[in-house]
Amino acid sequence: MSPGARDPEGKGPRPAGDAEPEGDVPAAGPGRPGRMPEEARALGSPWKTLVGEVPGLTAELERDFRFGQTVFPFGGGYRIGGSVKGGSSTTWRPAEESDYQAYHAWKIREGIPEGPEDIEAFELLAELLASHHVELWNLGHKFAPKMPSEYLPKRSWIYRIALDMLRSLPEEHLQGEHFAALQLGGWGPASAKASAYEKGRVFIYDFALGGAKRTMAGLFLHEMGHAHEAAMGAARLDELAALHAPIAEKNALFGLEFLLDAESRKVYQQFLVTEFAAETYVAYSAAGPALRAHVTGQEDPVLGEAWRKVYDLFRESFAGIEYD
């Protein structure tokens, strides 16, 4: 079923961020097939809770861990907390040993692995970026732009997932002044939270590199989405803004779960077309079936037409690639 078709069974719209059941997923259209790595494709399905599976894990603790909070021994007891909005400021509160055990059990399932070491992934990532004249800033502090990139231990998974996601994007998205540098690590301003995009530079801060795998993948594609929106040009962005207006007004936005819940990510893009562009970039590349289900599930013809045009705009900007 192409994104322009109506649902033949007359189904209503599904909740944003929810993929269709197996066997009922709209297929990609006539474009070239694309596929993100599995860690990114997981964004197309709801973020399954581990409450009830991980001993001691509560809904509150899970929410904290998903937002990058950690638990560690301190002064004969334990503390839970971490960065405030991804900046350098931190806050901590007392915790129990059961919280500590729950955190480490959760991290094994959801957290970014610290090994095994994979120097090849770093070398291939650096090579890919250099071939497109993109600088790699990898030391993770304010002097990173002035220092040569070098392999850092415990970041192998990060290098590999960044490499695999970039390889899955059209080559055009890795070219030009709008994607001129990638920084992995460091601290951003408090307003930047876990990642940022500024003047052709994509920043993935320490906050994102030490949390959930799902969050790292989502934030990476989100910031690449900002690079993409910056490359669109004023006329194309105005076109997208005109389509965004009725979608936002009638709360027909599409939200995926990473760092924040799906509803929060919808609010995040409610008033800014630039955030709508970045979030749709994530959905288009990492959650193609779920996005197509959202498009075809619109019962309001105005919203259906707006979403079909948004999808077509992104398909064109992705050189005809459609993701499964």
pLDDT in tens, 53-97: 999 999 999 998 988 889 999 989 999 987 665 555 678 899 999
Q: Is the CA virtual torsion 323, 106, 182, 234 positive or negative?
A: positive
Tell me, what's the pLDDT at 18? 42
Chunk the chain into consecutive blocks of 10 residues (it has 324) and report each block's average pLDDT, rounded to whole numbers. 35 36 50 91 97 97 90 93 64 93 96 91 95 86 58 92 98 96 79 82 89 95 98 95 98 95 94 97 98 97 98 97 96
Rounded to whole angstroms, the Cα distance separating 270 from 293 reads 20
Listed by start position, the domains of the chain span 59-110, 119-211, 233-323
169 φ, ψ to 5°? -90, 160
User: Is 209 in contact with 155 (CB distance < 8 Å)?
Assistant: yes
Entry field: residues in the chain: 324
Residue carrying structure tokens 């996005």: 291
Tell me, what's the pLDDT at 20? 40
Best CA proximity match to 49, nearest among 58, 41, 40:
58
Quickly list H helices, the chain: 38-41, 59-66, 97-110, 119-131, 156-168, 206-209, 213-232, 234-249, 262-268, 273-286, 288-296, 301-317
